[in-house]
Amino acid sequence: MQPGPLNLITDVAGLRVGNASDPALKSGTTVLTADRPFTASVAIHGGAPGTRETALLAPDKSAPGVDALVLSGGSAFGLAAAQGVMDALHVQGRGFEVFSARVPIVPAAIIFDLLNGGEKRWTVNPYPDLGARALAAADRTFAIGTQGAGAGGQTAQHKGGLGSASLVLADGTTVGALVAVNPMGSVTTSSGRHFHAAPYEVNAEFGGLGPDPQPSLALLPSRKVGAMAQQGNTTIAIVATDAALDKAQCNRLAVAAHDGIARAILPAHSPMDGDLVFAASMGDRPLIEPGAQLAMIGHAASLCLSRAIARAVWEAEPEPYDTLPAIRRELGLV
């Protein structure tokens, strides 16, 4: 397995991603979409999720596909980003057809970034506009780090961010991950200088720092708790593939991909995190051996997600009024 040409989720043909963020707000929104509806499901393993329209992604629900998936900052306020995306898609004539009506299907999930040093005293909720702007910016190439839904993310020790990664399997199937990183836990080891995801790194994509030469089961006291609140957490992600999966198979893919969170963040899936993974299929490559292929796609998705989490933190940029350091600044590399 090797990364795709972009090492982004958009190596899955047909997918596009757009970001919109506000540096003063220290928050933003990320939208994944395509030119046609795509199959999707979800697995929620955190104890404190914030979501919109995730129930219809269950395999037994009737909605056949979605028009976009939204990751956003803003806690519950950020769920309104999906409304901005939905309204813009409606203008484009997109959506689930119900007789003469069309209803865009736009599930969403949010992170809590309300206590990160940004200006949050708005009079009009900024997230519908951020959602519409992110959709308008959707393209095959997009920036990671302090961008979109990850613009206000924080880990236990460092700034979080938006990350992405991809892999192309031996049979040609492409798998990718997109993630907004804002966990209670730490993405780095107890030394603060090495990533938990180091064993899965490809081509020094998050610094080539390697595994910690003195690994420890200890966790450093959380800077995040000292800077804000224990409750302000969550890692939300999308994994995607060009393999033809139905909703039940997408659900299994989302479940498998959660291993990527657990490998990259310690601790993960806590009562204070809303850890969630959407899984999406563009349906272009029929499965020949469904069981074996789905197992390998799930494995690849978990690897992509671990790498994307570390890339998000590595690419984070220092900004005014940050309450936590960007890791490259702390290591003296920027």
Provide the angle, in degrees to the nearest 10, between the axes of the packed helices 81-91 and 127-136.
50
- Structure letter (DSSP) for residue 324: S
Asked if 107 and 54 count as a contact pair (C-beta separation under 8 A), the reply is yes
Interval 318-334 mean pLDDT: 89
Render pLDDT for 241-269 as a digit per residue (tens, 0 to 9). Answer: 999 999 999 999 999 999 999 999 999 99
Least confident of 109-118, 228-237, 309-318, 324-333: 228-237
pLDDT at 89: 97
Structure tokens at 223: 């800077």
Task: Provide the pLDDT confidence category of residue 98 given band limits of 50, 70 and 90.
Answer: confident
Is pLDDT of 189 > 60? Answer: yes
Interval 197-213 mean pLDDT: 94
Is pLDDT of 152 > 70? Answer: yes
Residues β-bridged to residue 42: 278
Asked if 70 and 81 count as a contact pair (C-beta separation under 8 A), the reply is yes
**288 class by beta-carbon count within 10 Å (0-12 exposed, 13-18 middle, 19+ buried):** exposed
CB-based contacts of 34: which residues, under 8 Å, 6+ apart?
14, 15, 16, 282
**How far is CA 27 from each of CA 92, 119, 226, rounded to the nearest angstrom?**
26, 9, 20
pLDDT at 169: 97
Question: Rounded to two decimals, what is the model's pTM?
Answer: 0.95
Dist. CA 6–CA 54, nearest whole Å: 29
Dist. CA 295–CA 185, nearest whole Å: 27
Interval 55-60 mean pLDDT: 95
Structure tokens at 150: 């990850």
Interval 123-148 mean pLDDT: 97
How crowded is residue 59: how many other Cβ atoms within 10 Å of its Cβ? 12
